Structures are given as structure tokens and as C-alpha cells.
Amino acid sequence: MKAARGKPGGRDAARMMQKMGMKVDEVANVTQVIIKTESKDIVIEEPSVTLVTVQGQAMYQIAGGRVSEATPQVVPTAIGEEDAQLVAQQTGRPIDDAKKALLEAGGDLAKAILILKDQPSSQAQA
């Protein structure tokens, strides 16, 4: 009845999509989708994912699933020597302590200085 009113039914819609060069496929066995932005990660557990291809352009449609957001933790793998020297100078602590504090602080200079100022000096313990 819908097709009679100018609205395509299931089979007519499939034919029309095929004529327009549109292809729709379900992506099987998707367990998780992660969307990364500068400020957060959006995690979708057990979604339904469909690949829609129109004139060679691929689009993914994500539906359903449990959604959660998380702030990504950026952990520097290397600490700059200049940063470590600055923290050591500001706190009067050895450069090795400054590097450890910078790693703990995720590279944040001010946080590393506060960490060292809150900890007793290894020299004072000896």
C-alpha cells in the first residue's frame, strides 16, 4: 500500500538504491567502536555497524550499544632534558627525581614540581 502512495516498499527501495549506486552491508561480529577526539574517547560496546557505500564513498553507520566516554590518558614516553633540568632547579632535587616526577605528572611541569615539593628529599632521608 505504501508503494502505491509514492513511498517505495522494501523491494522497490532496494532497486532504487542499486540504481543510485548504493550498497548496504552489515559489518559482522563488531564488539566495540572507539571514536577518538582531542578531548575524549567515545566507546560504544556491542554496536550494530552497517557499511553504506554510495558512488565509491564508504560511510559507517553505528547504532545501539552501550556508550561511555573517557578522557584519554597521554603518557609521555620520553621526558625532555630541558624540562627535567627546570624541575630539578625549581625543587633543588636531583635530575633523576625530576624525571620520575615528570613521568608521574604526565609531562606537566607544574604538577611535577608540586609532586617533588610534597615528597621528602632522598638526601634528607639519608
pLDDT per residue over 63-80, tens digit each?
Answer: 988 999 988 766 666 788
Give the Cα separation of 20 and 126 in Å (integer). Answer: 78
Distance of CA 74 to the CA centre of its chain: 10
Give the Cα separation of 116 and 68 in Å (integer). Answer: 34
Give me the phi and psi of 70, to 5 degrees please: -140, 150
- Residue ranges, CATH 1.10.8, the chain: 81-125
- Name the pLDDT band for 124 (thresholds 50, 70, 90): very low
- Residue ranges, CATH 2.20.70.30, the chain: 24-72
Instruction: Report the percent of the chain where pLDDT is more than 70.
Output: 84
Residue 106 grid coordinates: 604526565
The CATH number of the structural domain formed by 24-72 is: 2.20.70.30
For the entire predicted model, the pTM comes to 0.48
Reported as half-sphere exposure (CB side, CA atoms, 13 A), residue 83 has a value of 18
pLDDT score recorded for residue 75: 60
Higher pLDDT, 125 or 101: 101
| 81-125 placed in CATH 1.10.8 | yes
> Side by side, which strands form the sheet with 66-70?
32-36, 41-45, 66-70
Question: In the predicted model, what is the mean pLDDT of the chain?
Answer: 84
pLDDT score recorded for residue 39: 85
